[in-house]
Amino acid sequence: MSTEESMQILKSQCDSIQNEISELQKEINRLGLNAKKTDARNPLKSINDEKEKLLEAQIHLLASKEPAGLPQKDDSLNLALLKREMETTNSELEKTLIFVEANNEEILSNIEREKKTQKELQQIQSSLREKLSHLRLNPEESQSAPGRVNQLVSDGKTLSTEHKKLMKAMGLFIKDHFPPPNPDQMDLMNSCINHPHDPYLTLTPEHWPPYVELLLRCGLALCHPNDASRIKLTPFHL
């Protein structure tokens, strides 16, 4: 039996008890209405007598009726409540298990990483011990160590000097064979202004192809329709 059905049973029992109480109240009221009228000469005494009779009637009715106790929870309700409690506990335990498993995985990963680091440190320590033992057995090598350091420093300075010389020579080579464009020269503009009838400029090796390509792509210059080696400035002023 489910929890809803158990609650319906309890509600039905409560309604039955409420109906019985209502019937008793009606019976008490009926007995009170059938009582004798109040004595006009001594109204208080008559009222007290009627109250006494009403109380006696209530006591008689209550004594003749077995007291109805509160309904006890049946086994189905107990089972339903126990099942709900077990489901809640099971859900909480499952969440705890998931958290513990995730925590265990992280701990195992940290342990593996620490083991790997420990192994590497042990290898370094072993290598250093072997090196120290070798130097103790061959003191002449330990004495020549400063000389080796000085030799390495000297070689480094030599390499730095050679690198500077090489970079300087490369700069001179580029300057001679691939000179940058002269910003003071305005060949295209001069041809357009001084020779409007023939504004085309013949390209030479001095004109860098990347710059020529940039001018053409941006629409600042136009190629000759019959000769790709000649370009002119786009006549924006016309």
What integer pLDDT is reported at residue 178 of this predicted model?
Answer: 64
Report yes or no on 222 lying in a domain: yes
What Cα–Cα distance (Å) separates residue 223 from each residue in 207, 211, 230, 235, 237?
14, 14, 6, 13, 18
Q: Which domain holds residue 216?
A: 187-233
What integer pLDDT is reported at residue 100 of this predicted model?
Answer: 85
Supply 80's token pair: 């339903």
Same domain, 88 and 51: no
- Please state the domain count of the chain: 3
Residues 155 and 114: their CA atoms lie apart, in Å, by 40
Report yes or no on 153 lying in a domain: no
The sign of the torsion formed by the CA atoms of 105, 111, 114, 118 equals negative
Residues 88 and 83: their CA atoms lie apart, in Å, by 9
List per-block mean pLDDT (blocks of 10 residues) for the chain, which spans 238 residues: 67 75 70 51 60 70 57 66 86 86 86 91 91 79 68 90 91 74 73 87 83 87 91 83
2: number of Cβ within 10 Å: 12
Same domain, 68 and 7: yes
Same domain, 51 and 100: no
Report yes or no on 167 lying in a domain: no
Residues 53 and 26: their CA atoms lie apart, in Å, by 15
Report yes or no on 160 lying in a domain: no
Report yes or no on 229 lying in a domain: yes
Same domain, 86 and 120: yes
What integer pLDDT is reported at residue 70 of this predicted model?
Answer: 46
